[in-house]
A and B are shown apart, each in its own frame.
Chain A
Amino acid sequence: MKKYMIKLLVTVISMVLVTACTKEFLDVKPEGQITPEGYYSTPARAQELVNSIYNNMLTWDEHSFSWIGITSIASDDADKGSSAGDTGADKDKLDNFTYGPTDISVNEIWVANFRGISRTNLALDILPKIAIESKLKNRLKGEARFLRAYFYWNLVRTFGDVPLINSVIDPTNSVQVDQAMIRAPKQQIYDLIISDLLYAKDSLYNKGQYENADLGRATSGAAKGLLAKVYLYQKNWQASFDMAAQVINSGEYALVDDYSTIWREIGENSSESLFEVQAVGGPIALGVQQYSLVQGVRGQFGWGFNSPSESLNNAYEENDLRREATMIYPGEVLWDDVIILASLPNPRYNQKAYVSRTQETFNGNDEQSNKNLRVLRYAEVLLIHAEAANELGNATSALQSLNLVRQRAGLDDISVTDQSQLRQMIWNERRVELGMEHDRFFDLVRQGRAAEFMGPLGFIAGKHEVFPVPQSQIDISGGLLTQNNY
């Protein structure tokens, strides 16, 4: 009996040992994953939070295929390109104005920009709680608000009225979520964009104040430039004029001499650059996902989408240096001595998306290329200045800015002072100066000339000025989101 008792005792003791520390046993800290408590407490962490907002600009759905589709293929500047059978999911429909609420491009633009806005709101929620010096804190808040303005600017131009989200939403609070889903009138969105940019303008560093390691961060100049453009869309000519003039008079920016270098690696972050999306194609590549690949010469470098149109090709004056810098033609020899194949399915490709494999940083990874996306450059500020001045009746000032841009393109000065004629000329100048730079579609809508230029392509006035709200988002909202005229 004693033997049994010993055996039993040993067993019971071992069982007790096993069960005693269950609670501790099951409290496993997440392995290799960071939980938020206490993480954002240093300046470096604060910077990380803001960097993640910039990161959104590199994503496929923010700036790549869908953005190219909506801003460029849909416009009269470009055709779908690629091979006839390759629709790029819905790019054929964008080209022909036959797209609808279920097409992928509108959903990607919606999702990507709201993702950027959400990251901004989180940063703006956390930043005030971090103990860092106020100058840096304000700058970081300024960067975040600049980027939020940019994302909303894309949304409001694409969809018109959209939900206005300027704080972190609790996903478990259905009342809050439902409330947030309702589309705010366009003007409220513009008000938010303007207030964000006004804040950014005042809290951001000037271009020269940043360390080299911070090259690419939003600057005060960038905020002013974007503000000038937003005011232009608002037809607030005086404010637009003033902002553009502030940029011009700051002396921080200048046109580069050679237009053809603007979109090349040597033209990155040049004197002309107000804001661009940074990309590195070096040993470790991080770029706008597949931006160059999507538009690369088909059969040689890429998929060949977004082929510059006949109409854009014909829009340049004779001797305009900008045409050759914007187009790639089959059979031509490019600036880096690369010979483009003669027999290609499309007559033109976008040179602004071209990355040289021999003369520029290229690591073999064409999905993450070195191509910086130029969002806002000084030439456009000059054209905004010119347009606002002309609308304010200041033809002299307008011509001064306009001709700076023309001179660089190797063209003669204009001296027309008739407001209406000059307006047309400035608009034409915008088209060729900013060809293939994601501006044309929204510019035509702003100018009220969309039907005139894109009507033959299928544009219907009163409908196509804005794109359809994604059906999937309407479905998820349970009908709280409303549709545009689709």
Chain B
Amino acid sequence: MKKLLLLFILVYAMNLMAQEKTISGVVTADEGYTLPGVNVLIKGTTVGTVTDLDGAYSITASGENVLQFSYVGMQSHEVAVGNQTTINVVLQSNVALLQDVVVIGYGTVKKKDLTGSVSQVKAADIAAIASASPALALQGRSAGVQVINNGLPGSSPEILIRGVGSIQAGTNPLYVVDGIITGDIRNLNSNDIQSIDVLKDASSQAIYGARASNGVVIITTKKGSKGKMKLSYQGYYGFNIIGKRVKMASSQFYEQYTNEALLRDDKPAAFFGDTYPINTVWLDEVTRTGQLVQQSVTMSGGTDEITYLVSFSYNGDKGVLQKNDFSRYTLRLNNEYKIANWLKMGNILSLSTYKANYPNTGVYNSAYRQGPNVPVHDSAGNWGNSNNINNVGNPVASLAYYHNIGKGYQIQASFWGQADLYRELNFKSSFGLDVGNDQSKYYTPYFIASPSQQNLISNLSVSANQQYHYTWDNMFNYGRSFNGKHNLDATAGVTMEELNSTYLSGYRQDVPPQENYWYLNLGDAATATNGNGGDKWRRFSYVARGTYNYGGKYFITGTARYEGSSRFSEDNRWGFFPSAGVAWRISAENFMKDSKVISNLKLRASWGLVGNDNISTNLFLYTIATGISYPFGEEIQNGSTITDVKDPNLTWETSQGLDIGLDYGFLNDRLYGEIDYYKKNTKDLLYPAPLPAILGSTSYITNIAELVNQGIEFSINWRDEISKDFSYSIGGNFTYNKNEIIDLANGLPIDGGSLGNGQTVTRTSVGEPVGSFWVYETDGLYQTEEEINATPHFPGTKIGDFRYKDNNEDGLLDNEDRIFVGSYQPVFYFGINLTLDIKRFDVQVGAFGNMGNKVYNGKKAQRWGGENIEASLEDRWTVDNTNSTTPRAFNNVPVASDYYVESGNFFRFSNITIGYTIPLESKVISKLRIYISAQNPYTFQAFSGYNPELPGGVMNSGIETNPIPTTGKYLFGINLDL
């Protein structure tokens, strides 16, 4: 009671002190021009005004009031009135484009000072992604970045930055997490990430030298900041549900079709009588509703001496495929210490551990192929089987006896110190460590599901992989502004790196079936085999970058990396990767400074050389292959020889990239975006050049191909704040890319896209995109024997089969008649993002899509005799249905033809989230938001199969042989800040 009284007196006293006065001033933007229409508000009241056409305002307030200045596209600004009567305010732009700092490798730069092309995705957009890999946050977010994901728990999506840039040396970008170069980012908790920056043009990438040509993805994790401790909790729970399904045949139709196909080959029917209904829906039998959970807690804060951030998270992902799940714990500790005025030190420490039951994805394949008339179990309780009809096992039995589990941990840590040496010159040394350990067990028990699906002796394979990787960067930095006009920033230093990895594997038979017995020691020692190997490489590089701008108008950047790699022979070890970029910020010129329409206009151009050496170590060295053994007298004797032809002059692939871009902003940057043209010419592509078999080997890796990616990227965004309670934004990004092979070894094409049945469906050939579909061209169905005899046809062709075009008109059907019908690479891809804030509600919608690419319906084209068919074949050619375009029932290996090539166009809603911030009168809780989110809820697709997103490697992508369905994730989540 006493306290209350005291408070009352205090408040009364303060009121007495309040002296109302008139305050006036002018509000200008950081670019120098005055801002009309700025909201000026006395904090905590509804009293306010707006600035006039000259940016001037006047308001009555008292000394203890605080004025709030807010304007769309600008950071809000608060000023305590105090004794002032004139308050002039400069508002900083908060448009991503201008104010944001982007991370460019060994440094940062303001987006507005950038001469290259870098896309950034921010924390809020990353945290929302329910996936083990934060890389999925890039999906549909920025032009030039294509993310292809199969959706399996714990999987890593494929990322293509500005097209397919390599055939043999991988296409995934280089990941740099807080300065540590790494190959995988599945150890990261999305909530820990501050930003993801994608270096897209060669001038930005060149600082990473021989590994950067597929682009660089730089991830920066959150740090603590000075002030009171903040604690936040992020959690969600949700379901994972199969999206599109393909309707398969009923038992009746399956049996009819199978008999018809046999009859066609003059074989007796397989099914008699009409005991039809079993109608097993195999996909349902092997799948379930998946579940997703995340719990994440972050604490951060700091004093003048120390800032800290601690986070802990758990992620659980139970896949739709039975027995497939992935869970992960992460712990992070990011600290920074101010030792002296001139010395700072810090650490990053990230620990993650995972456990996985790996998917038996082959079951999706057998579920597609197994007949619907086969029961999961027969009436006697035995596994149903289809022996004598087809080679497909019982999918449920396959799952039941499949055990493939993994666990592991990863430590990513760095320790750094930064010293101010002399005036603006400072030095930073940073030692980063990336240590990983993965263990797996693969156990197959004794079982007999059917005569052709059995394993008579149990066996266990275990493996352990370890990786140690360190990076040590030593960098000088000098940044200074002369006369406020000449702005110079220079970075130079050295970096060294070593990777050392080992694997150890073992195998034994006759291990008991209980999971706690799955150890090699409990198996039969006489059956033991083991393996052990390792890898080691080092790099040493000199790195330099200089940027200069004059008055914020004219920018020039130059970088260079001189890199030595132990992966190549001494004579071919060192490479030089220079780059240069210029920019002209037209909107900063006097003639445009006062424009009310154009708020930002910057023209950029850049050029650079980058490399790609992502191949096995020691490929330039002849090595002896051991274990080329042979059993003499019942004992296996070791054999060894040289099996592979090597190229001693092997070197990295080199890309020369050119980028011309324009950044624009209109109406105070309410409308903004970028346009870029790029051309990336990759030479010395590592490629398995075919060798004559008389040399004892059929191919060898050498630098003997060339390809080009060129394209246009365009992004456009509109944002507006209609009122305090209603703001929205809409953005789109669009990419056109053309990929073309310029040269291959001896001009010989390379075939890929094997369906595993002797048919290949892609060809990588000069003048075409990598991995183009290359197939026979169908020309309707044969209706009469005469038609068949009058045209070239494959042996065994019957009425109702496809007529294939003899395109070279030589009277024969062979590979010469195949045609190119497009590739899996989209001509055009895009993303659309929308946000809406209405009072306490917030809405985010994300969507992306592809156009102009093709997919191959591999599962349908892979059919062996007697396997299930899709219900759509009801409409096949029969003697009574001769107008059909679907061929008659057949058991032959389907010929690779355009019939199986379908449009890959799709438009997918990747994310729809609706959140609500609960109003709370709490001193403890500063924010409580609940949300529901749907990820991948719906896809408009042309493809008749399960999923048009089909990762699979450079020459085998876009082929749906193993149908992994798209899954939709539906989440309920909470964000809580204290």
Contact = CB atoms under 8 A, between A and B. Distances in A.
Interface in A342-367: 343-345, 357, 362-364
B457 interface: yes
A357 B292 CA distance: 45
B291 interface: no
Interface residues of A, number: 96
A456 interface: no
B624 A36 contact: yes
B892 A85 contact: yes
B289 interface: no
Contacts of B459: 364
Contacts of A58: 630
Most buried by A among B387, B534, B565, B748: B387
B452 A284 contact: no
Interface string A34-65: 11100100000101111111110110000000
Contact of A25 (B455, B540, B570): B540
Contact of B632 (A52, A214, A282, A298): A214
Contacts of A214: 632-633
B533 interface: yes
A333 interface: no
Contacts of B892: 85, 87
A22 B564 contact: yes
A26 interface: yes
A93 B390 CA distance: 21
A216 B696 CA distance: 24
A300 B630 contact: no
A7 B748 contact: no
Contact of A18 (B496, B628, B864): B496
B631 interface: yes
A18 B748 CA distance: 46
A202 B178 CA distance: 70
Contacts of A25: 496, 538, 540
A85 B389 CA distance: 10
Given A25-B496, A122-B641, A341-B451, A114 B429 contact: no
Nearest to B757: A89
B957 interface: no
B322 to A, nearest CB: 25
A118 interface: yes
Contacts of A118: 694-697
A335 interface: no
Contacts of A48: 626, 637-641
A18 B566 contact: no
B53 interface: no
Contacts of A345: 388
Most buried by B among A19, A28, A98, A100: A28
Given A31-B535, A102-B815, A476 B893 contact: no
B405 to A, nearest CB: 21
A163 interface: yes
A472 B690 contact: yes
Given A51-B637, A343-B388, A84 B891 contact: yes
Contacts of B537: 28
Nearest to A178: B692
Contacts of A187: none
B487 to A, nearest CB: 24
B638 to A, nearest CB: 6
B645 interface: yes
A111 B624 contact: no
Contacts of A301: 451-452
B524 interface: yes
Most buried by B among A14, A33, A122: A33
A52 B640 contact: yes
Contacts of A206: none
A84 B474 contact: no
B626 A34 contact: yes
B13 interface: no
A111 B623 contact: no
Nearest to B535: A31
A39 B459 CA distance: 35
A98 B697 CA distance: 28
B865 interface: yes
B811 to A, nearest CB: 14
A32 interface: yes
Contacts of A217: 632
A93 B795 contact: yes
Contact of B452 (A299, A343, A476): A299
A477 interface: yes
A30 B526 contact: no
B262 A87 contact: no
A418 B451 CA distance: 52
A55 B262 CA distance: 41
Contacts of A362: 456
Contacts of B640: 34, 39, 45, 48-49, 51-52
A467 to B, nearest CB: 15
Contacts of A375: none
A83 B891 CA distance: 9
Most buried by A among B457, B628, B795: B628
12 contacts: A7-B427, A28-B538, A33-B618, A34-B623, A84-B267, A85-B865, A165-B694, A169-B695, A213-B635, A278-B632, A301-B452, A476-B692
Given A53-B639, A83-B390, 16 more contacts: A7-B421, A22-B540, A52-B639, A54-B630, A83-B388, A83-B865, A102-B815, A118-B695, A165-B694, A212-B633, A282-B634, A283-B509, A283-B526, A299-B388, A345-B388, A364-B455
Interface of A: 4, 7-8, 11, 14-15, 18-19, 22, 25-28, 30-36, 39, 45, 47-55, 57-58, 83-87, 89-90, 92-93, 96, 98, 100, 102, 104, 110-111, 114-115, 117-119, 122-123, 163, 165, 169, 171, 177, 180-181, 211-217, 278-280, 282-284, 286, 298-301, 303, 341, 343-345, 357, 362-364, 472-473, 475-478
